[in-house]
Amino acid sequence: MKSGSVMNAFFLSSPFLRGMVEFLILVASGICGLVFSWTRFSIYPVSNILGGLLIILALAFHSWTHKEHKQAHARTRDIDTLVTSGAYAKVRHPLYLSGIILNLGIALSFGVLITFIIALLTVIHWILTSLKEEEILLQRFPDAYHQYRLSVRWRMIPGIF
């Protein structure tokens, strides 16, 4: 099997499953960090409060965007329509953005350095997933997705990315 096909299988597998695995890894590393006194942020309890707020924001944003795109938790190859309304009218990957915010919130709420590093790795994962997904969507919906990319310029953060 080619390494490209392995990468495609990974990046284009179920976002829900990948998100749950990331969540469990983050929570486990946070708990281990607390139990074993791993390096923590020195801004306690500010990081805990900020993390909790980010978690609430991410869950609310995720819920709102999922209402617009019922197939959002499906594998990319199973998506049969493009959604261009709601948050999808502003950014192309709002659910991935909510996952990023959630993971960073979890890491900050634990305040454990290694958990934050793992969360940063998940940010890279979701960015790479969005890039790979765009390739597939452009192949599946060539004209519609091309027009969508022209009308919605930003992938996740307006004005930045």
As a dihedral over the C-alpha atoms of residue 65, residue 120, residue 21, residue 47, rounded to 10 degrees, the angle is -80
Task: State the residue range of the domain holding 47.
Answer: 3-151
Find out whether 42 and 111 touch, Cβ atoms under 8 Å: no
Residue 159 counted as domain residue: no
Residue 92 lies in a domain: yes
Is this model's pTM higher than 0.85 or not? yes
Per-residue pLDDT tens for 98-138? Answer: 999 999 999 999 999 999 999 999 999 999 999 999 998 99
Q: Are 72 and 65 in contact (CB under 8 A)?
A: yes
91, 41 Cβ separation under 8 angstroms? no
Spatial distance between the Cα atoms of 117 and 95, rounded to a whole number of angstroms: 21
| CATH number of the domain residue 129 falls in | 1.20.120.1630
Establish if 156 belongs to a structural domain.
Answer: no
pLDDT tens for 49-84 read 999 999 999 999 999 998 888 777 777 777 888 899
Total number of domains constituting the chain: 1
